[in-house]
Structure 1
């Protein structure tokens, strides 16, 4: 009886891991370069973070999707790179990140040469 229960727990756990992986869209992630890392949020923002150190062990990454993204790009992976000081100032005037928070990247989608902002990635200390 204990073996059956343990087997059900293992199968259920593996099923949940597979479901979570599929729901986050990692199966559709584009090829990425060494040093890149992936972030996927329930709000639809999917990000390939490039050129930024992965500090998941000490910081929590938050995703802010742009509100004017067409519905057909909602599940598209965007490339996120360090923002310029001008972009950071524009973002922080509209969003209060809070103490210890910082804007990490701006995420963009290149639709046949037409590049638009998909969202922003911020981080806060993992206390």
Structure 2
């Protein structure tokens, strides 16, 4: 009886570790770039992954939403992008095209540098976490 119980516990633990490892692989955490002291990362199921460089981390108070660009080649869809604060004209253009709702705001523009060719991978906005 004890052997069966230990076997079941071992199977459950192995299943949990395997599933957690799979989630980390799907999130891209094994090939993520180095983080600086003021950096944090966001990874979404859609494949949009970004390192937020010198942007305040407001995750306890705000919920982040990802908007992926439509014209991204498939080989770049799961690549880590570098995210930066938007300029005022970029913020205004985003708010004209996307309604993030009350309290929502554009937080970052995420770009990929493909050997000198920089293109927008997506945008991160946030809304209050109520």
- Whole-Å separation in 2 of the counterparts to 1:57 and 1:11: 31
Structure 2 gap ranges (5+): none
Q: How many matched pairs?
A: 127
Question: CA offset at residue 6 of structure 1?
Answer: 3.0
CA distance in 2, matches of 1:5, 1:57: 37
CA distance in 1, matches of 2:10, 2:92: 53
Q: Please list, as runs of the form range in 1=range in 2, the aligned pairs for 1:61-80 lying within 5 A after superposition.
A: 61-80=64-83
Question: Please, which of 68, 89, 94 is the counterpart of residue 92 of structure 2?
Answer: 89
RMSD of aligned Cα (Å): 1.3
Q: After TM superposition, give the deviation of residue 4 of structure 1 in Å.
A: 3.3
Decide which moves more: 96-105 or 3-12: 3-12
Distance in 2, matches of 1:123 and 1:9, equals 36
Q: TM-score, normalised by structure 1?
A: 0.92
Q: 4+ runs of 1 displaced by more than 6 Å?
A: none
Deviation of 1:2 after TM superposition, in Å, equals 3.8
Whole-angstrom CA distance in 2 between matches of 1:2 and 1:101: 50
For the residues of structure 1 that align with 2:126 and 2:8, how far apart are their CA atoms? 40
What residue is the counterpart of 2:58 in the other structure? 55
| TM-score w.r.t. length of structure 2 | 0.90
Between Structure 1 and Structure 2, whose CA radius of gyration is higher?
2
1:24-63 equivalences under 5 Å are 24-63=27-66
* More off after superposition, 88-97 vs 55-64: 55-64
Check 1:4–1:58 CA distance in 2 against 1; reply closer, same or farther (3 A cut). farther
> Post-superposition shift, 1:11?
1.9
Q: CA-to-partner distance for each residue in 1:37-74, whole Å, 9 max, x for gaps?
A: 11111111110111111121121111101001112211
